[in-house]
Chains A and B, each alone.
Chain A
Amino acid sequence: MLSYYFGLALRSLKRNRMLTALMILAIAMGIGASMTTLTVLHVLSGDPLPGRSASLYYPQLDPRDMPSYTPGVEPPGQLSWIDGMYLLHAKRGTRQALMTGGMVPLQPEQSSIDPFHANARYTSADFFPMFSVPFQYGNGWGDAEDEGKARVVVISAALNDKLFGGENSVGKTLRLQETDFRIIGVLGDWRPNPHFYDLYMGAYADYEQVYVPLSTSRDLHMDHGGSVDCWGDSAGDQVHLERENCTWLQFWVELDSPASVAAYKQFLEHYSQDQRASGRFTRPVNVRLRSVMQWLDYNQVVPSDTRLQAWLALGFLVVCLVNTVGLMLAKFMRRAGELGVRRALGASRRTLFGQLLLESGVVGFAGGVLGLLLALLGLWLVRQQPSDYAKLAHMDAAMLLATFVLSVAASTLAGLLPAWRACRIAPALQLKAQ
């Protein structure tokens, strides 16, 4: 029976090609536009570390001074050296890492490659195990290297390909900032999106090429990049940032149970109180402990233009659907005579209703296929854009499935009213009018 209805639907769609084409095109454009923007939104608002992100937290303290204080103000988005070092050495979480970033001049030994600036992350040792960073060769460093300001470096897979042709380069020397570093690890494929652990370098920015112990980077006066927020009479002297009243470091802590999260929050409050008592903090205690997704949400990392585009595309889809409802209404009502005959011959309302819905479902499927092509084209266009997130815009299996579900559901929904109206026609009246 279903295949018979399917045949009927195709026959009816063929009868009025222009109208069918118009409906399919309208659905396809609505689906194409909304899936393009929704895919971009989906990619940009994804979880950077699925499975891990729920146990990673970002503590915030408020060490700033009173003159610029307003009640209810959020604490700064980064930590000062003193606070960061205290939290790092307190080791109250399962793991914790203090970090910041910058650009380091890199002088390759190969004369064929000109010196260039490498994107660097300066961090303490737990960065790698805490974020489950995969290694191709070698390992990260440990507390001893942090303490000893060791000249060791971990490099990205891309940099390893560029400098060493992808071979195991562990043990080789890399010259950074006029200093020889020993390569101790090469990362595997690692690119969580967004660049959650340091949003100040750009939420979808290029990933770091070299990873160096934080202590080493400070020892060698490596260039610091990203945001430096100072108060009082501090000006953010880059070389002596440790002594300045500035926040410029990111600190992440791994907390595995709700109890440990509560305990950590309490620990932050106690620390703030102690600092107030000693006079270093002057503001009322104001701490935050956000998880990865809360932190991304708070910082609104998804560009507002992208959200605006998604809303626009959904509005567009609504117009396309309303349009399809109108056209289907016209189409189904025109067939009132045929439907009247079938009713008179004994077809129930439900059968006719099902048949008409199937017909609109077929339109939806065709619209979905065309819409998918349009969405792929749209995503290709997005990838040609210069923004730093552009190259991430790819469709995944989930969005592919969503395209078809949305398309068929939308067109079936659009067919509901026309089908219902068409079925309500009294058979006798229709036959008489003939």
Chain B
Amino acid sequence: MSLHPMIAALRKHKAGVVLIAMQIAVTLAIVCNAIFIIYARIENVRRPTGLDENNLFLVTQQWVGAPSGDDPASVQKLDAMLREDLNALRALPDVESVSPTNSIPLLQSSWNGSAALKPGTDLREGNARTTFYFGDEQWLKTAGLHLIAGRDFTAADVTNMAFRDNSQPAIVIVTKPLADKLFPGGNAVGKVIYLNGDSKPTTIVGEVERLQVPSVSSWASTFVWNSTIAPIRLNGNFSRYMVRAKPGRLEAAMRAVPNALYAANPMRVLDDDSVKSFKDIRAEAYRADIGMAALMGMVCLILLAVTAAGIVGLTSFWVGQRHRQIGVRRALGARKVDILHYFQLENLMIAGAGALAGIALAVGLNRVLMSKFEMQSMPVYYVLAGLAVVMTLGQIAVFVPARRASNVPPVVATRSV
């Protein structure tokens, strides 16, 4: 089939052709950027924290009328209260292990600082930003982390200090990304680092594969996997406990916690959020991301539907307008399938032209979004996928009116309207 008569015909409908092409272009630009955003969000949500997330929950509580924690004696009093809680929780039948902790991945409440190879160096170049987790010898076990090098903390390693105390731990366990950043040559275990610009040396005793920081905000995206675990019980007027329930006993263990804690010491505040499963913590952390992805997905679908409807509408109009010409072609010997192909090919040309403009628009839109929002550069295959989607959509949409056109009987040619 020669394209020449088709182009000549399209010239008569410039406005309609331009409109469809424009609509396809804008649709392509929005759809591939939206899909890119959806993908980035999903990717974010799906990354594992490093924890064994099943059967894990967190308890947050605050004591009423607790010692101030300003002097050594009151710190020891706070520590005694903390250990009392730990014992109460460890005694529960459905609980496998418990560790005090300051935070947990995805909790959003974080304690951040730096690790350096030289003493007294503040947070500047050559240093690694890191988040800190404080717990006892059961922290790793409760979190479900496995060492890839070195050793776990022992009960003898664990010390306690006031929540506001600024001194650095003697030993730590770090994540592999942090270790690799500090010691690109490997073998970080046994090496000495300096935390938070302090001059007191800290020895790395172990290394774990992966542990995410508590914050999922964009400001923490530069050090998502840089975590440091210190064997310290922090003593303040509030405390958090990371608890691993026995397999399948999560709910029972969570239900038993408030009474066990009140029995140990009634002078405390526990509210609805105090005992929270890790599943809930995860859902809360990523709720906005999932909402955004769902919204984008919905917008894409509606957009494609609207565009398809537009193509159906305009092509139907053209078919109606060319009713007689189609009859003439049929009378002169064109088969039904020729008419069908004619409209399909016509749509392919219009959609192709629109899609070409759309590619440029999509890339441009991506650039604008990159400059205004925290967004990555969109890989080419998104554009290609979007291209395939809109071209297919065009073909599907044009099929109904094109079929109707192919059903125009040749006898129409002999009738006057």
Contact = CB atoms under 8 A, between A and B. Distances in A.
A225 to B, nearest CB: 11
Given A19-B313, A33-B299, A304-B373, A320 B306 contact: yes
Contacts of A235: 164, 166
Interface stretch (A125-133, A135-143, A152-160, A322-330): A322-330
A76 to B, nearest CB: 15
B164 A330 contact: no
A68 B122 contact: yes
Contacts of A326: 16, 19-20, 23, 310, 313-314
A214 to B, nearest CB: 19
A305 B23 CA distance: 25
B47 interface: no
A319 B307 contact: yes
Contacts of B70: 239
B374 A304 contact: yes
Given A116-B271, A117-B62, A329 B15 contact: yes
Interface in B1-57: 15-16, 19-20, 22-23, 26-27, 29-30, 34, 37
B65 interface: yes
A308 B373 CA distance: 8
A272 interface: no
B12 to A, nearest CB: 11
Contact of A434 (B15, B68, B317, B417): B417
Contacts of B287: 385-387
Contacts of A312: 30, 34, 296, 299
A308 B26 CA distance: 16
A107 B302 CA distance: 52
Contact of B164 (A19, A238, A315, A319): A238
Interface string A95-115: 000000000010100000011
Interface string A19-41: 10010001001000100000000
Interface in A318-354: 318-320, 322-323, 325-327, 329-331, 333-334
A307 interface: yes
Contact of A421 (B15, B164, B374): B15
Interface string A265-276: 000000000000
Contacts of B316: 330
Nearest to A37: B295
A189 interface: no
Interface in A292-314: 304-305, 307-309, 312-313
A205 to B, nearest CB: 14
Nearest to A312: B299
Given A115-B64, A322-B23, A26 B295 contact: no
Contacts of B123: 68
Nearest to A336: B321
B338 interface: no
A236 B113 CA distance: 13
Contact of B68 (A67, A114, A239, A308): A239
B269 interface: yes
B166 A237 contact: yes
A114 B268 CA distance: 10
Q: Is the interface of A mostly helix, strand, loop or mixed?
A: helix
Interface in A144-179: 178
Interface residues of A, number: 50
B30 A116 contact: no
A105 B269 CA distance: 8
A117 B314 CA distance: 63
B326 to A, nearest CB: 16
Interface string A59-74: 0000000011000000
B62 A305 contact: no
B13 to A, nearest CB: 9
Contact of A221 (B27, B30, B68, B314): B68
A329 B16 contact: yes
Contacts of B29: 315
Given A316-B303, A323-B23, A68 B124 contact: yes
A49 interface: no
Contacts of B320: 334
B309 interface: yes
Given A67-B122, A107-B64, A315 B30 contact: yes
A334 B317 contact: yes
Contacts of A221: 68
Interface string B307-331: 1011001101100110000000000
B209 interface: no
B389 interface: no
Nearest to A36: B295
A221 B71 CA distance: 14
A107 B269 CA distance: 10
A425 interface: no
A178 B317 contact: no
A373 interface: no
A369 interface: no
B267 to A, nearest CB: 9
A29 B302 contact: yes
Contacts of B295: 309
Given A239-B70, A387-B288, A117 B166 contact: no
Contacts of B166: 235, 237
B204 to A, nearest CB: 22
B360 interface: no
A370 interface: no
B284 interface: yes
Contact of A308 (B27, B306, B314, B369): B369
Contact of B313 (A107, A178, A327): A327
A13 interface: no
A223 B62 CA distance: 12
Nearest to A103: B62
Given A29-B306, A178-B65, A334-B317, A325 B19 contact: yes
A416 B316 CA distance: 22
A417 interface: yes
A239 B164 contact: yes
A102 B398 CA distance: 62
A137 B370 CA distance: 51
Nearest to B315: A330
A377 to B, nearest CB: 12
Contacts of A330: 16, 313-314, 316-317
Nearest to A304: B373
Contacts of A327: 310, 313-314
Nearest to A384: B291
B124 A322 contact: no
Given A322-B26, A323-B307, A334-B317, 20 more contacts: A117-B269, A178-B64, A235-B166, A236-B164, A239-B70, A305-B288, A307-B372, A307-B373, A308-B37, A308-B369, A315-B26, A319-B306, A322-B22, A323-B309, A325-B19, A326-B19, A329-B19, A330-B314, A334-B320, A387-B287
| Closest 3 pairs (CB-CB, A-B) | A330-B317, A235-B166, A323-B310
17 contacts: A29-B306, A67-B122, A178-B64, A304-B373, A305-B288, A308-B369, A318-B26, A319-B23, A323-B309, A326-B310, A329-B314, A330-B316, A333-B321, A334-B320, A418-B15, A421-B15, A434-B417
Interface of A: 19, 22, 26, 29, 33, 67-68, 105, 107, 114-117, 178, 221, 223, 235-239, 304-305, 307-309, 312-313, 315-316, 318-320, 322-323, 325-327, 329-331, 333-334, 385-387, 417-418, 421, 434
